[in-house]
């Protein structure tokens, strides 16, 4: 009986010791796991910020296409985006792998007679985990800020130039619908559509015809009759007034502008225009 009693007392002391060791290990594990979760949360915020900056930079690059005077700033931004994408990709890999290792370490089976060795090993594993690459990716926003600002500034310069061109863009006033009498008034172009059977305006060379642009791609503004923005498609036909008739006027264009080159009726030019708005 004494032997049994002694064994019972000894076993109780051992159980208490195991329980205390296990509790201590649990405390270490809980602390380490909480620290990891906090670190991962901070790293996740840094990663999200980097991704947001990267997507914003990509949007700026896409939006700037055709809206800068030179491609230098866009090329620099594209290079910066490529470098940032590589960093974000590495960070994503580290975040995934580290999270998986942490999740594996967090599942620890602890038996009644366990002293907590598994908990201590898991705590050590958690302590060894690194999210440095993810945390460092927070500098991606700074890495992209300069190139993005340069492209934004280049776009502003381009827009300023477009505004200047718009202000200085050639404007032609179609002052009346009519025929020879209205042309001779020399107040601007005259709408001859009714006479030609196709949308057409005309102007004497000396009254403004010599200033009308015929370079294809030129954007002009018409006011008055036929008001709108037009693209010049170039001279599509030259006619000699002595031999040509209305039947020779080309059809199928949004608008035709007629003038006599150098004031000569033998070189009557017909410039096609496409209406833009």
pLDDT, one tens digit per residue, over 92-127 is: 999 999 989 888 888 776 655 567 788 888 889 888
What pLDDT, in 10s, does the model give residues 167-183? Answer: 788 999 999 999 999 99
Helix or strand holding residue 222 (H, E): strand 219-224
CA dihedral 103, 104, 110, 111 (to 10 degrees): 140
pLDDT surpassing 80 at residue 18? no
pLDDT surpassing 70 at residue 1? no
Helix or strand holding residue 164 (H, E): helix 140-168
Where is pLDDT greater, at 24 or 151? Answer: 151
116 phi-psi bin (left φ>0, alpha ψ -120 to 50, beta other): left
Beta partners for 174? 189, 224
pLDDT surpassing 70 at residue 194? yes
């Amino acid at each position: 009986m004494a032997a049994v009693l002694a064994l019972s007392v000894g076993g109780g002391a051992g159980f208490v010791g195991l329980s205390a060791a296990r509790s201590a290990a649990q405390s270490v594990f809980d602390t380490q796991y909480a620290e990891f979760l906090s670190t991962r949360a901070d790293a996740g915020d840094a990663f999200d910020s980097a991704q947001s900056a990267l997507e914003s930079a990509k949007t700026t690059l896409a939006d700037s296409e055709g809206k800068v005077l030179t491609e230098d700033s866009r090329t620099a931004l594209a290079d910066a985006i490529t470098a940032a994408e590589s960093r974000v990709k590495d960070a994503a890999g580290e975040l995934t792998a580290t999270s998986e290792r942490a999740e594996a370490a967090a599942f620890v089976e602890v038996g009644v007679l366990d002293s907590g060795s598994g908990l201590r090993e898991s705590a050590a594993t958690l302590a060894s985990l690194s999210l440095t690459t993810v945390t460092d990716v927070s500098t991606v926003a700074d890495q992209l800020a300069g190139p993005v600002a340069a492209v934004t500034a280049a776009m502003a310069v381009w827009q300023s130039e477009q505004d200047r061109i718009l202000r200085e863009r050639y404007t032609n006033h179609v002052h009346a619908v009519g025929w020879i009498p209205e042309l001779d008034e020399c107040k601007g172009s005259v709408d001859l559509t009714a006479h030609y059977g196709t949308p057409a305006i005309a102007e004497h060379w000396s009254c403004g015809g010599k200033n009308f642009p015929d370079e294809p791609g030129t954007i002009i503004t018409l006011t008055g009759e036929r008001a709108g923005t037009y693209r010049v498609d170039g001279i599509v036909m030259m006619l000699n007034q002595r031999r040509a008739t209305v039947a020779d006027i080309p059809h199928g264009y949004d608008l035709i502008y007629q003038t006599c080159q150098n004031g000569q009726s033998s070189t009557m030019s017909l410039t096609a225009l496409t209406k833009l708005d």
